[in-house]
Amino acid sequence: MPFRSSFDCLWCGRSWSVRDPDDLEGWAQLCADCVGRADDNDFVRYRVRAALAERGRDTQSATPSGKGAGHDNPDLSGHDEMVAYYEARASEYDDWYLRRGRYERGPLHDVAWAAELDEAGRWLDGLPISGEIVELAAGTGWWSPLLAAKGELSLYDAAPAPLDRARERLVAHRLRAHLHVRDAWAEPDRQVDAVFCGFWLSHVPRSRLAGFLGIVRRWLKPGGVFAFIDSRSDPQSSAIDHRPVRDQETMTRRLDDGREFTIPKVYYEPHELEEALAAAGFESSRVATTARFFLLGQAGAPESEGRPVSGSRPNGLG
Ligand SMILES: C[S@@+](CC[C@H](N)C(=O)[O-])C[C@H]1O[C@@H](n2cnc3c(N)ncnc32)[C@H](O)[C@@H]1O
């Protein structure tokens, strides 16, 4: 991010002005109080680390050996890099849904995409979802109005900027929901009737899928519903300049301004997910597909709890 002398703090939202043009707050776009929370807050820690790197680069760029600004991301863990990517991509995220800009693939493709997206929406709308609903990694809230019309929706994401878009979308639909920055890997703080994830499971590495499905189970009341929509592997689903999957579990993504980020991206097969859902203790799991682009998954938490959900609790990312 560029240095700013006045800004609204990315974490708490309060207006802040720096005292010195070299203040870290101006690079992190965090107020001094929030910078002080770096020890116990993943997002703040990422912003402070990135700000230190950006400030350092700015000093270097005056010399001929300075690297090109914006293309060399600080050394981030996969988690931080993914949150940073979606934070930076918030304003262009919906171009993917709307097949605009680098996601436009010609009229035939774009019509097929829109038809399948519509099919996914009708599928989600037809599910028996009601009561208290949690949407994890909700992003810009593409699916949130549909969910907010079905019950009391809480939508969570680790990055604040996409949530701002989701808030605007809900306001435009005159719908209410609870929006909070929250890590999808955090343990549930209550049990709810339904959990939805859009295009999130494909960011969960295979090695952590059982752990994440265990979290979803712990979110759900007996008889609760888990629903998800996700990506199938199709060469035209992503942007024209997104490089193919390197090792089947990561992808390098580029923003309109050229910045690059490498993030986890796993194209699960329906049977893999059905098996993982069954192993996590879900019942009646079914993962269908649209013709080319999407996975449509649903599963139920058992009406009465038998043995505890297998699979260890997550470690590391939360
Ligand atoms: C592919 S987008 C999906 C957004 C939305 N669910 C949709 O269907 O359009 C993935 C989202 O996951 C969020 N994210 C990344 N890491 C996260 C984490 N650890 N916890 C919660 N959200 C996270 C990103 O900020 C981004 O909004």
Question: What are the residue ranges spanned by the domains of the chain?
Answer: 6-75, 90-300
Could you tell me the pTM of the whole model?
Answer: 0.75
Give yes or no for residue 83 CB within 6 A of ligand 1: yes
User: Which tokens hold the place of 236?
Assistant: 């035209």
Query: Ligand 1: which of 203, 262, 294, 317 to mutate, judged by most atoms within 8 Å of the beta carbon?
Result: 203
Q: What is the DSSP string of 285-310?
A: EEEEE-SSSEEEEEEE--SS--SPPP
State in Å: Cα 110 to ligand 1 middle.
Answer: 23
- Structure confidence by residue, pLDDT tens digits, 231-257: 998 766 666 666 655 567 888 888 888
Give yes or no for residue 143 CB within 6 A of ligand 1: yes
Give yes or no for residue 138 CB within 6 A of ligand 1: yes
- Structure confidence by residue, pLDDT tens digits, 277-314: 999 999 999 999 999 999 999 999 999 865 444 443 33
Looking from the CA of residue 135, the nearest atom of ligand 1 is 6
| 239 contacts 251 by C-beta, under 8 angstroms | no
State in Å: Cα 197 to ligand 1 middle.
Answer: 9
State in Å: Cα 201 to ligand 1 middle.
Answer: 10
| 229 contacts 143 by C-beta, under 8 angstroms | yes
The answer, yes or no, to whether residue 316 has pLDDT greater than 50, is no
Three-class SS state of 85: helix
Q: Measured in Å, how far apart are the chain's first and last C-alpha atoms? A: 24
CATH number of the structural domain 90-300: 3.40.50.150
State in Å: Cα 200 to ligand 1 middle.
Answer: 6
Rg (CA), the chain: 20
Query: What are the start-end ranges of the H helices in the chain?
Result: 24-28, 32-35, 42-60, 78-89, 94-98, 107-125, 144-148, 160-172, 206-219, 270-279
User: Which tokens hold the place of 264?
Assistant: 């986890």
- Structure confidence by residue, pLDDT tens digits, 56-94: 777 655 433 332 233 334 444 567 889 999 999 899 999
- pLDDT (0 to 100) of residue 234: 75
Give yes or no for residue 159 CB within 6 A of ligand 1: yes
